[in-house]
Homo-oligomer: A and B are copies of this chain.
Amino acid sequence: MLTIGKLGQAAGVKVPTVRYYEQIGLLPEPERSTGNQRLYPRAALDRLAFIRHARELGFPLEAIRDLLSLSDKPDQPCTAADAIAKAQLQAVRARLSRLKALEMELERMVTQCAHGAISDCRVIEVLGDHGQCAHPHHDSAGEP
């Protein structure tokens, strides 16, 4: 049996985060010691590592919830898991192309900066004047 600290360390997840995952129902409530401290079996480590790895890949917790419930039914076809992963890949690619555009514009801003007075600063100028920039501005916020 592992205490929450050992579990967190083994999985690379901070202790408050483990408790948070329990609170939102991603991890089942473990047994408690006589002194009311959480005690986890080995299996909890697998589950937590799964969550952590999926989070590292950028899956939102809701998707992870679905993936976990899928992994509990090994006999079903994996179409759903595949779909979730594909959606995540799409989302990542969308962010990538957006970030590349941002990178180009920031690069332009920074390299064109003459390091003079604010009044001549390309950085401020480009930010203030939409017309000066190349990128499309299709959507609203900086990053989804």
Residues in chain A within 8 A of chain B (CB atoms): 12-14, 46, 49-50, 53-59, 67, 70-71, 73-79, 81-82, 84-86, 88-89, 92-93, 95-96, 99-100, 102-103, 105-107, 109-110, 113, 115-121, 123-124, 126-128, 130, 133, 135, 137, 140-143
CB-defined contacts of A105 to chain B, threshold 8 Å: 57
Number of copies: 2
Please tell me if the beta carbons of A118 and B73 are within 8 angstroms of each other in the complex.
yes
Q: Which of B56, B78, B102, B118 contacts A71 (CB 8 A)?
A: B118
Distance in Å: Cβ of A42 to nearest Cβ of chain B: 14
> Measured between C-beta atoms, what is the minimum distance from A79 to chain B in Å?
7
